[in-house]
Amino acid sequence: MIRTLFVMSTLAMVPLLATAASAADGERATIDTGALQGATAGTVTSFKGIPFAQPPVGELRWRRPQPAKPWTGVRKATEYGADCIQEPFPGDAAPLGVKSDEDCLYVNVWTPAKRGTGKLPVMVWIYGGGFVNGGSSPAVYDGSEFAKDGVVLVSFNYRLGHFGFFAHPALAAEQKGQPLGNYAIMDQIAALQWVKRNVAAFGGDPQNVTIFGESAGGMAVHILMTSPLAAGLFHKAIVESGGGRPGPLGGRPIAGPGDSGEARGLLFAKKYGVEGQDAAALKKLRAVPAATIAKGFNMATMGSDPSYVGGPMLDGKLVVGAPSATYEKGQGARVPLVIGATNMDLGFVQAKTLDELFALFGPNADQARALYGGDAHADFRAVALKVGGDQMMVEPARHVARVRAAQGQKVWQFRFSYVAESLRKQWAGAMHATEIPYVFNTVAARYGAELTPSDAAAAKAAHAYWVAFAKTGAPQVAGLPEWPAYDPKADLIMDFTLAGPKITADPWRARLDLAEAASSAREHGGAGTQ
């Protein structure tokens, strides 16, 4: 039985024989499935819309990604392929740049237009969106600035929602012995296998790959870090607002014993009038139009759909446990790690009043009320945002940093506090996902005419640290503050403040200690559980 828990799944797609390709300059590249024609803009050449697997449609819906078919001649690779099918989320700060479709398993590459014979570091971006929204085409995810700085940037699409996470008894019978349910994670692993086989054709070093992602993408990095099936596919990792403890992403609580992916799948089938648990039922489900399944389903509605598993499921092969628990056992990839969150990050609490909110802290309720400013006159929403963000994103990042550092792993912790000048009257801090255009140095695409020199300088600095980490395995930039590896005793973090990058003792240490105690109590069924 596949349990609907935050877990990770990995798929080992049968490797294709690599066709060695020259790293010579130019807009042509040859990979294991054929020749490509890219496009050059200034000092950057990009290759977009490259299939890394067959379209997951028809009989391939809810199957592990199958090897892409070779083509003859030269394939034009100058436009994004379709993002994976979804209903866009209103107000998304990273709106899709192309249509979405079920045929969506494409990869994109940005590389310097002129490069020597040396191998370049590779960064692979995994987008967020609650595992139900998102894609590789948004303008803020453009990899040109990384390529200008000597990094090969790769992005790709992975299946979302009911297409990416789905379990059904008929699938278990059809795909006996294979990883099941977590098709989105299988896509991610297939894309990383594609990188390993092919990135040298674009000048990249397959032995120097950094994966990085935000929100659901950060959670995916945790999954890949702890999945046995992703071992050896990357060498460094960055988690931006990716949580790490067992818990919901998008508001759905973790399912308890007795709940299962298959039970949710049967509910899903019932919505479309499909009964039974055999191959005939599965054939009918695969015939339901993709647009019908996607209609009305996104981050705003996912929590109210009882037929959706909520994201990654424990399957014992790809996803083997909650990341924090896996790390605590000393398991998972032993790679350098950068991890952190924004200072007004995302969080969900079920409390309706301040009293209910601070009851989450059990015996530490009064202390938490004082630290979070939760007196009788406090604004509930503002306080709940702090509590939720700490428990869902900020404290889990610190917890992972503490655990990995104690095991002798190099970890660097950050907090992103910079707010664009045009938004400072609206926001008291950096909201969830707002660090992305700074990391990519695409703030001009995000803020347009409202961009200021201060915003541009903040982006230049954040981007430089990410580039340095990809190149050397340590985020150190000449002319900027030295970023020390995380030490739980010193508890120093890199804070990207309004005044620039700053190394500081974590000012939230006391309240994060309380968040840690509350999370630990919930995970072990003690005081402070909801």
pLDDT in tens, 111-139: 999 998 899 999 999 999 999 999 999 99
Alpha carbon distance 293, 271 (integer Å): 10
Alpha carbon distance 432, 455 (integer Å): 17
Amino acid at 371: L
Alpha carbon distance 34, 242 (integer Å): 36
pLDDT of residue 251: 32
How does strand 39-41 pair with strand 44-51?
antiparallel
* Confidence band of 530 (pLDDT split at 50, 70, 90): very low
Tokens of 32: 């294991």
pLDDT of residue 520: 86
**How do the domains of the chain map onto residue ranges?**
28-112+122-213+243-304, 336-523
More confident residue, 388 or 20: 388
pLDDT of residue 350: 87
* Confidence band of 25 (pLDDT split at 50, 70, 90): low
Tell me the per-residue pLDDT of 402-447, one tens digit each, with 9 for 90 and over.
999 999 999 999 999 999 999 999 999 999 999 999 999 999 999 9
pLDDT of residue 16: 32
pLDDT of 11 higher than 60: no
* Confidence band of 525 (pLDDT split at 50, 70, 90): low
pLDDT of 378 higher than 50: yes
Q: List residues bridging with 492 in a β-sheet.
A: 505
pLDDT of 529 higher than 70: no
Apex 501 CA angle, 44 and 488, nearest 5: 115
- Helix (H, G, I), strand (E, B), or coil: what is residue 443? helix
Tokens of 55: 């379209």
pLDDT of 28 higher than 70: yes
Tell me the per-residue pLDDT of 311-323, one tens digit each, with 9 for 90 and over.
999 988 999 988 9
More confident residue, 17 or 187: 187
Cβ pair 451, 416 in contact under 8 A: no
Tell me the per-residue pLDDT of 445-466, one tens digit each, with 9 for 90 and over.
999 999 999 999 999 999 999 9
pLDDT of 74 higher than 90: yes
Same fold, 28-112+122-213+243-304 and 336-523: yes
Average pLDDT over the chain reads 91
Alpha carbon distance 349, 522 (integer Å): 13
More confident residue, 117 or 29: 29
Tell me the per-residue pLDDT of 76-85, one tens digit each, with 9 for 90 and over.
999 999 999 9
CATH of domain 336-523: 3.40.50.1820
pLDDT of residue 159: 98
Alpha carbon distance 437, 447 (integer Å): 9
Token pair 């969900």 in the structure block, residue: 348
pLDDT of residue 164: 98
pLDDT of 4 higher than 60: no
pLDDT of residue 116: 87
H or E element that contains 171: helix 169-174
pLDDT of residue 184: 98
pLDDT of residue 523: 79
Alpha carbon distance 98, 81 (integer Å): 8
Tell me the per-residue pLDDT of 249-265, one tens digit each, with 9 for 90 and over.
333 333 333 468 899 99
pLDDT of residue 1: 47
> Beta strands of 178-226 (E only): which ranges?
204-214
Tell me the per-residue pLDDT of 486-519, one tens digit each, with 9 for 90 and over.
999 999 999 999 999 999 999 999 999 999 999 9
- Helix (H, G, I), strand (E, B), or coil: what is residue 277? coil
Cβ pair 312, 219 in contact under 8 A: yes
* Confidence band of 90 (pLDDT split at 50, 70, 90): confident
pLDDT of residue 148: 98
Tell me the per-residue pLDDT of 382-396, one tens digit each, with 9 for 90 and over.
999 999 999 999 999
Look at 120-124, 165-169, 235-239, 346-350 and tell me which has the smallest mean pLDDT: 346-350
Residue 158 CB: number of other CB atoms within 10 A? 28
pLDDT of residue 247: 58
In the chain, the percentage of residues whose pLDDT exceeds 70 is 92
Question: What average pLDDT score do residues 7-17 get?
Answer: 33
How does strand 500-505 pair with strand 492-497?
antiparallel
Tell me the per-residue pLDDT of 292-315, one tens digit each, with 9 for 90 and over.
999 999 999 998 999 999 999 998
CATH class of the domain comprising 28-112+122-213+243-304: alpha beta
> In angstroms, what is the C-alpha Rg of the chain?
22
Phi/psi at 28 (5° precision): -105, 140
pLDDT of residue 22: 39
Cβ pair 302, 308 in contact under 8 A: yes
pLDDT of residue 521: 85
